Amino acid sequence: MNQNSSAAVMTEQQVYAARVAALTAKLYSEPPKACVITFGCQQNVSDSERLKGMLAQMGYRLTDDWRNAQLILFNTCAVREHAEDRVYGNIGRTKAVKRQNPNAIVGVCGCMAQRESVAEKIRRSYPYVDMVFGTQVQYRLPEFVYRRLSGGERVFERALENGEIPEDVPILRDGTLKGWLPIMYGCNNFCTYCIVPYARGRERSREPEHIIAEAKEMIAAGYRDITLLGQNVNSYGKGAAHGLDFAGLLRQLNALEGDFVIRFMTSHPKDCTKELIDTIRDCEKVSHHLHLPFQSGSDRILRRMNRQYDRAKYLELIAYAKEQIPDVSLTSDVIVGFPGETYEDFCETLSLVKEVRFASLFTFIYSPREGTPAAMMDDPVTREEKGVWFDELLRVQEQIAAEDEKRFSGRTYRVLCEGKGSRDGFLSGRTNGTAVIEFPGEASLIGEFARVQVLSTEGGLKGVILS
Ligand code: SAH
Ligand code: SF4
Ligand code: F3S
């Protein structure tokens, strides 16, 4: 899809949106309501903002109450089995809505919908689901709703086009100060445990001018905290004619006028460079937070995971980041109990955690995903035993976080006043990482940056605004 054809595609969808509005005007005496229920990662949250934008364009009012909605859309996640089970449970509950209003529309999209086995299961066992569509055809939502509302067959669409990204999809953002800005979609890394490359297709980067334009719009609309999204932001722009890499993109965004902070996720250690760390150090608007998932501390397991870096390279990057950015906040993802992992391998994960001292960790017990290479590997360790290891990791991390939190005391951070705190007269914001801090302040400061000094760390960070 080149830019002209992208514009033509979006015009076509606008025509469908207008047709949907005309149909629902006949069906309902007041504007119909739509509810989008989102599972999974920030990428899905961002996609849902675009789905909501299209629904608003079709004349739907958005609601959080699915029981009173005329259209319910599940934006799903397939990354672990638990995530999938929750979705099936929720879909089942919409049967009652359809019984009350046969014109109601129920849709399932997102990463689960991209899987053939899921689409088949819904086709057979959930006859009241009207639409199942994959991640790369979401921009065609108006067409799908129109087809179904006008009496067409149930919609099953899950082509992976892997082509250019349709721009100009309308967006209805959830927040007013903090917003998501996708810079790329898909993943080429095929870590052996992971479903994402199958669910999202090949890596595709947005053109810099579209990203810059969206950032400018967000800043003009009052957004002060912008998180750039991608499965592996460090490979932004690879192979593109414009030649801009992620560090270059960060520098361009940093140069935009306005008072705002830029965050990003996720960085893959294999593509994380010292240049990127230097860029974070040098760009005053880029948050001193690096989310760098290591997954395992054992080289043997990292090889079997196809992560394409080793423990030494990971630790070298971390050492460089700490040296260049002394107040850097480090966070990471870890998998416990990958097939074939022994307690000795797990101890290497523990020792890495102790060495790095992350501010926080996202920890997962390995979950086999059908169709991935790891799902075929021997996995002799029981779930119970993995649970014991997992608890051990949590205890170690909790102790590290508690010890390190004390070191926040006395430090000063530039904090965005994000909203009211948990106590009257207090505001809430975040330090450079993900730690929440509360401090006395007027509600009129919400949306402004303030210099906040940490005074106490007992029961959460408390501070005071320095004048
Ligand atoms: N692109 C990101 C991660 C996206 S998925 C990256 O490479 O860092 C988010 C996290 O879910 C992963 O980092 C991993 O820790 C976890 N995860 C992915 N697949 C998993 C599986 N099959 N079982 C358990 N955890 C998994
Ligand atoms: Fe999954 Fe690996 Fe891609 Fe991350 S980099 S999304 S873990 S395949
Ligand atoms: Fe889940 Fe898809 Fe994100 S599988 S973690 S919603 S990319």
- pLDDT tens sequence for the chain (467 residues): 555 577 888 899 999 999 999 999 999 999 999 999 999 999 999 999 999 999 999 999 999 999 999 999 999 999 998 888 889 989 999 999 999 999 999 999 999 999 999 999 999 999 999 999 999 999 999 999 999 999 999 999 998 877 778 898 999 999 999 999 999 999 999 999 999 999 999 999 999 999 999 999 999 999 999 999 999 999 999 988 889 999 999 999 999 999 999 999 999 999 999 999 999 999 999 999 999 999 999 999 999 999 999 999 999 999 999 999 999 999 999 999 999 999 999 999 999 999 999 999 999 999 999 999 999 999 999 999 999 999 999 999 999 998 988 888 899 999 999 999 999 999 999 988 778 999 999 999 999 999 999 999 888 899 999 97
Structure tokens at 102: 């046969």
Closest atom of ligand 1 relative to the 195 alpha carbon? 19
Nearest to 142 by CA among 46, 71, 92, 76: 71
Cα–Cα distance for residue pair 161/301, rounded to 1 Å: 33
262 - beta bridge partners? 226, 286
Decide whether any atom of ligand 2 lies within 6 Å of the 191 Cβ.
yes
Q: For ligand 3, is residue 196 a contact (CB within 6 Å)?
A: yes
Amino acid making up residue 161: E
Q: Is the CB of 136 under 6 A from ligand 1?
A: no
Residue 196 Cα to ligand 1 midpoint, Å, equals 8
Which of 85, 196, 362, 372 to mutate to test ligand 3, by most ligand atoms within 8 A of the CB atom?
A: 196
Q: Is 78 in the pocket of ligand 3 (CB under 6 A)?
A: yes
Mapped onto helix, strand or coil, the DSSP state of residue 462 is strand
Strand locations in 111-221 (E): 131-133, 155-157, 178-182, 184-185, 204-205
Please tell me whether the peptide bond between 279 and the residue prior to it is cis, using omega within 30 degrees of 0. no
Pocket test for ligand 2, best of 184, 187, 308 (most atoms within 8 A of CB): 187
Q: Is there an atom of ligand 2 within 6 Å of 112 CB? A: no
Tell me how far apart the alpha carbons of residues 40 and 260 are, in angstroms, rounded to a whole number.
26
- Distance of CA 77 from the midpoint of ligand 1 (Å): 12
What pLDDT does 2 receive? 56
Q: Which single residue is written with the structure tokens 């075929």?
A: 376
DSSP H stretches of helix in 325-427: 343-356, 383-405
Ligand closest to Cα of 369 equals: 1
* Contact yes or no for 267/291 (Cβ under 8 A): yes
Q: Rg of the Cα trace of the chain?
A: 23
Confidence (pLDDT) at 3: 55
Pairing of strands 225-229, 178-182: parallel
- CA 88/CA 74 separation, integer angstroms: 10
Question: Hunting for tokens 């330090």 — which residue is that?
Answer: 431
224 and 416 Cβ atoms separated by less than 8 Å: yes
Nearest CA to ligand 3 atom 1: 77
Q: What is the pTM of this model?
A: 0.95
What is residue 86's predicted lDDT score, i.e. its pLDDT? 86
CA of 322 to the centre of ligand 2 (A): 25
Q: Is 43 in the pocket of ligand 3 (CB under 6 A)?
A: yes
- Which listed ligand is nearest to 374 at the C-alpha? 1
Q: Is 41 in the pocket of ligand 3 (CB under 6 A)?
A: yes
Distance CA 320, CA 242 (A): 29
- Ligand 1 centroid, distance to 266 Cα (angstroms): 11
Residue with tokens 């009207």: 130
What is the H or E stretch that residue 274 is in? helix 274-282
